[in-house]
Amino acid sequence: MFELFKEKATFMSAEVHLFKSKAEALDFIKDFIIENAANKVSKSVVWCESQFLEGIDKDALQKELPQIEFNIDLNSASSAKIGINEADFGIAETGSLVEISKTAAKRLCSTLPEIHIAILPLNKILNNMAELFGKIDIRDIPYLTIISGPSRTADIERVLTIGVHGPERVIIAAVENF
């Protein structure tokens, strides 16, 4: 199923990486931050609390990479270049991420920054939308988004252009042993 997910997500211009463990995924994210948001002075990374961060020493992480901000508000999110959060599900058929957010913080990480990194537990990849609807009770969910690739427009001369109001890169870090 991951293969299908990867194929479809890649088709939608998302970048998909698979990691054996959380540690491997964390290393990847750290390297990515260093490469894409090198300036340690500004808080250019917002990272939303999630299961992935459990057991990770956030203080140590912040010491290593001071550009990371865990406290998410309009200010930090709108000035960040990279937003990191954890997707609740993946949908193989369309290569989509499913993001369930009860508060705005998680959503801000995938709406405002130029780059969105979504951590996706491998066992959360579902076949299709019908399976998703069977797993959730939408009445308990204030806000759910199915995200398929980066923000895009073709409103000027029908030329496809990536990155209008939302992220111009969507990076999916799928993790096997979550």
Partner 1 sequence: MIKEEIKKALENANLSGALTRFSEAYAVSRKKAYEGLDFEEIREKIASIKSYVAEHLDEVIAKFIDSAKKNGAKVFFTKNPEEVRSYIIELAKKNNVKSIVKSKSMATEEIHLNKYLKEEGIEVNETDLGEWIIQLAGQRPSHMVLPAIHLTRYDVSDIFTKKVEPIEPDIAQMVKFARKQLRRKFLAADMGITGANIAVAETGTIVLFTNEGNARLTMTLPKIHVAVVGVEKLVPKLEDVIPIAQALPRSATAQLITSYMSFVTKPYTHIDGSQKEFHIILLDNNRSAIAKDPKFKQTLQCIRCASCLNVCPVFRLIGGHVFGKVYTGGIGTILTAWTEGLRASKDIQGLCIQCGNCEKVCPGKIKIPELILEIRKKLTKEEGITFTSKAIFSVVNNRKLFHTILKTASKLQKPFTSEGFIRHLPLFLSEFTEKRSLPAIADVPFRDRIKKIQQPKYDKKAVFYSGCLIDFAYPEIGEALVKILNRAGIEVIFPQEQTCCGAPARYTGVMDVAANNAKQNIEALLSVEADFVVSACPTCTVALKTQFINDLQEQKASEKVIKEAKKLSQKVYDASELINILIKEGKIEFRRLPETAFTYHDPCHLIRTLNISKEPRESLEKSGMKLVEMFESDTCCGMGGSYSIKFPEISGTILRRKLENIKKTETKLVCTDCPGCVMQIRGGIDKDGLDIQVKHSIEVLAERLKEE
Hey, which residues between 48 and 87 contact partner 1 (CB under 8 A)?
A: 73-74, 78
CA distances from 117 to 5, 31, 69, 131, 141 (A): 16, 13, 14, 24, 22
H-helix or E-strand spanning residue 121: strand 115-121
CB atoms closer than 10 angstroms to residue 95: 24
CB of 111 to partner 1, least distance (A): 5
Number of residues in contact with partner 1 under rule CB under 8 A:
46
CB of 151 to partner 1, least distance (A): 4
CB of 137 to partner 1, least distance (A): 9
CB of 88 to partner 1, least distance (A): 12
Please say which residue, 121 or 166, places its beta carbon nearer to partner 1.
166
H-helix or E-strand spanning residue 32: helix 22-36
The closest of 97, 77, 79, 76 to 88, measured between CA atoms, is: 97
- Does residue 94 belong to the site contacting partner 1 (CB under 8 A)? yes
Q: If you ran DSSP here, which 8-state letter would residue 90 be given? A: E
Rounded to an integer, what distance in angstroms lies between the CA atom of residue 106 and that of residue 93? 24
Please say which residue, 56 or 146, places its beta carbon nearer to partner 1.
146
Please say which residue, 21 or 161, places its beta carbon nearer to partner 1.
161
CB of 8 to partner 1, least distance (A): 8
Rounded to an integer, what distance in angstroms lies between the CA atom of residue 97 and that of residue 84? 13
- CB burial of residue 125 (10 Å; 0-12, 13-18, 19+): buried
- Does residue 23 belong to the site contacting partner 1 (CB under 8 A)? no
Hey, which residues between 126 and 165 contact partner 1 (CB under 8 A)?
A: 129-130, 133, 138-139, 141-159, 161, 163-165
Give residues in contact with partner 1 (CB under 8 A).
11-12, 73-74, 78, 94, 96, 101-105, 107-108, 111-112, 129-130, 133, 138-139, 141-159, 161, 163-167
